[in-house]
Structure 1
């Protein structure tokens, strides 16, 4: 009582932050100063960190900042880099490590001087306060780097849209999932020589990650599943990389043809099983930009233009009749007319913008017949 408790609440104490201080009144100090058995018949003091943090947060939360990725600002098709912001949070365990010592010191009627940090250059880090004295401790800040750095975007150079694609026509619930995956992918950069994997980049796409149930087709029957609609985003992303001239590593078309997608030029995905991968085979980074609306999703690839890309789609050949499938015993059955299967070849033609040399990349796709469903 005499050596610890009474001195601790004899006067206010302070936490010196960046640009402002937090004042701890004697009553607030009493709320977080705790005593535990020391194992030898005595007591040892401690700071209850969550309680003390709640007190200090009222004054110093404004001195913290979430990290912000570097982005592009657009004027027409030209893009300029908006610098990243390094995140800054208070490590309260370290901040309060010296608070017990400070509470044992004599009260000073003069509060510590407010530390005003010097101006911070774009992308820089704010300076820390000088060492605190008396009944004060410094807030210990930790930095959190942004995922997309200023340097990463500056390395792209005078970026332009080198490939883009847009799809439309999705239900509201599928649109939620498309928006969620678009938000995750927006701003992703791919360094020269690196491979982008949609499954690896987003991780699991389940309810815990913000995805909802939406319509899917299971064995030709309409059904519901968490993450329905993601294939529309993967198709849009695939086509954007297609027209950007990036190196395809892995993609898989749907088993059945879906009329809102270009035949032979679409991609489905499934967690852990079917992926969309492409490689940045250029010499500068590229950035993925997504633009979502309630009725459309557009994906743009920004970087240094290397190719003029066109698509040459052949005729549909080897038709396979849809046939008829009865699902009379399935309560979810919904009759449909069915779609014939067919084979089609799409050829990507890349013309080097510097040399004029042309390269052709044909890909042949066979779509299974989607049977006519009777109930």
Structure 2
């Protein structure tokens, strides 16, 4: 009888154990009201997905957030806020209760909540608005070769991780979520900045660095180091010293020129009136990107400030194949203006010098040609001489006088090629050696002449001269049948006044020229029809009659 009772009890216990341990998830387990108990993993995942789908409306409602005194809302979909079903089922399985708990208990498992911290941070940052205060990032700048520390200051705002924790834990609580506003400190302290000045910035510019190459040595002066050294903080406030390779090359342009061979682009030469493409040539240049990295290693040192510079092949920016695709096959415009004095006159020599500087220039489709940008400063070092220029309304000697005549010639060649006028300024006074209205002056660096190649073909500028004329021609592919000019009558004509100037070398007498206003219409024809008329208008002042003495 005792044996029978014992057997019955053992059978009951065994049956209860089998019931309690049926499935991977303990019986009585629920998540957000969804029963997943007694199921294996895959069935529990499916059941929880189905149960949450029924609550999608509720779970997708905006979450009320408090940012100090500010109230805001966050839409779950905007920050990828939701329940990680697979991770939640894993938690339910792994946090399994004891056998009695599995048999008799019930429990609620908190869901594993996920969100995109970056998206939440951006949204809350916008909501915080003016209540936020950016932290002042540290940096070290240079005044000449003297390092100047800029110390960090804390800001006031949000910590992305703490904001995410608050929203994850408070999302399903039913009330507004309090997101903490905290003081934000840069990773680099004032003491760190002072240490970086003493141990890196000051030694970096204490002496030059010698760069040895197979073609000779290059000296990197402290001023060049200071111009290219970057000691600024990242978003976290950390300062990682770096050398800007582009600024380093610019600062070393003259010394590098002694050891480098510059690449030459393919160009278009005009031979017997026909464009001919000639291939460019490779150059040899110092690898300044590698040099910048190597320099960083020796800048903190007081001696052994020598690095090896590697010369690498420098390919032309434009190859013959590139040029061949641009469709440069014929002359599309030409324009000539006359000058006096012969080629020996300083003014004539300036005209020829700027023509040489521009000759053969390739303007690619969509590119803007700037005459100032192309030639740079036109001074004595560049081969220009003193000749009369207009300054404050009168003619005075000035370096580069006469370049406005080339500018007008170039402007008209671009004008009659149908190219887009970007910027030009006619002279204040009318000179009969130029066409009225459609002419242009230039002066470094304030007055420029620019045009855009608004065609699908390349444009090559060809210049030539005689002892009394300058000619500019454009070579490309014709877009228009013709481009011509129609003028309105002159109006608002004014007479010159007489101004007496002291006699001396800076006084240049003039006869005076009447002033007037006039319109010029650029007329574009295609397929025998006028398709566009572009209006240019200019008012010339009456040039005074200047007398000397």
Relative to the length of structure 1, the TM-score reads 0.64
2:110 maps to what in 1?
A: none
Distance in structure 1 (CA, Å) of the matches to 2:420 and 2:374: 18
How big is each residue's C-alpha offset from its partner over 1:274-293, in whole Å with a ceiling of 9 and x where there is no partner?
11011111112211122233
Residue among 67, 80, 83 paired with 2:279: 83
Q: Quote how far apart the aligned CAs of 1:319 are.
A: 0.8
The 1:244/1:149 distance shift into structure 2, 3 A limit, reads: same
2:498 maps to what in 1?
A: 324
**Matching of residue 299 in structure 1 with residue 472 in structure 2:** yes
Distance in structure 2 (CA, Å) of the matches to 1:342 and 1:289: 33
Relative to the length of structure 2, the TM-score reads 0.45
DSSP 3-state at the match of 1:151? helix
Tell me if structure 2 keeps the 8 A contact 1:338–1:370.
yes
Gaps of 5+ in 1: 1-47, 55-63, 95-139
- Aligned pairs for 1:192-203 (under 5 A) are 192-203=365-376
Tell me if structure 1 keeps the 8 A contact 2:396–2:508.
no
How big is each residue's C-alpha offset from its partner over 1:203-229, in whole Å with a ceiling of 9 and x where there is no partner?
111223232222223345442111111
Q: Which moved more, 1:341-350 or 1:143-152?
A: 143-152
Residue among 335, 338, 342 paired with 2:512: 338
2:335 maps to what in 1?
A: 165
Distance in structure 1 (CA, Å) of the matches to 2:506 and 2:373: 33
The 1:269/1:334 distance shift into structure 2, 3 A limit, reads: closer
Distance in structure 1 (CA, Å) of the matches to 2:450 and 2:502: 40
Distance in structure 2 (CA, Å) of the matches to 1:52 and 1:206: 31
2:221 maps to what in 1?
A: none
DSSP 3-state at the match of 2:444? coil
The 1:211/1:148 distance shift into structure 2, 3 A limit, reads: farther
**Matching of residue 153 in structure 1 with residue 323 in structure 2:** yes
Instruction: Provide the aligned C-alpha RMSD in A.
Output: 3.0
Distance in structure 2 (CA, Å) of the matches to 1:271 and 1:289: 23
Tell me if structure 1 keeps the 8 A contact 2:339–2:348.
no
Q: Quote how far apart the aligned CAs of 1:251 are.
A: 0.4
Tell me if structure 2 keeps the 8 A contact 1:289–1:299.
yes
Q: Quote how far apart the aligned CAs of 1:194 are.
A: 1.6
Distance in structure 1 (CA, Å) of the matches to 2:325 and 2:485: 30
The 1:234/1:152 distance shift into structure 2, 3 A limit, reads: farther
Residue among 437, 440, 443 paired with 1:270: 443
Q: Quote how far apart the aligned CAs of 1:245 are.
A: 0.2
2:378 maps to what in 1?
A: 205
Distance in structure 1 (CA, Å) of the matches to 2:511 and 2:355: 33
Tell me if structure 1 keeps the 8 A contact 2:411–2:439.
yes
Distance in structure 2 (CA, Å) of the matches to 1:331 and 1:211: 19
**Matching of residue 175 in structure 1 with residue 345 in structure 2:** no
Q: Quote how far apart the aligned CAs of 1:367 are.
A: 0.5
DSSP 3-state at the match of 2:353? helix
Residue among 526, 530, 536 paired with 1:352: 526
Gaps of 5+ in 2: 1-210, 218-259, 291-309
2:267 maps to what in 1?
A: 71
Distance in structure 1 (CA, Å) of the matches to 2:393 and 2:412: 26
The 1:312/1:76 distance shift into structure 2, 3 A limit, reads: farther
Tell me if structure 1 keeps the 8 A contact 2:499–2:544.
yes
The 1:186/1:73 distance shift into structure 2, 3 A limit, reads: closer
Q: Which moved more, 1:214-223 or 1:156-165?
A: 214-223
Q: Quote how far apart the aligned CAs of 1:186 are.
A: 1.7
DSSP 3-state at the match of 2:455? coil
**Matching of residue 143 in structure 1 with residue 339 in structure 2:** no
How big is each residue's C-alpha offset from its partner over 1:28-62, in whole Å with a ceiling of 9 and x where there is no partner?
xxxxxxxxxxxxxxxxxxxx9799969xxxxxxxx
Distance in structure 2 (CA, Å) of the matches to 1:352 and 1:169: 34
Q: Which moved more, 1:190-199 or 1:177-186?
A: 177-186
The number of residue pairs the alignment matches comes to 272
How big is each residue's C-alpha offset from its partner over 1:44-84, in whole Å with a ceiling of 9 and x where there is no partner?
xxxx9799969xxxxxxxxx987444333546544232222
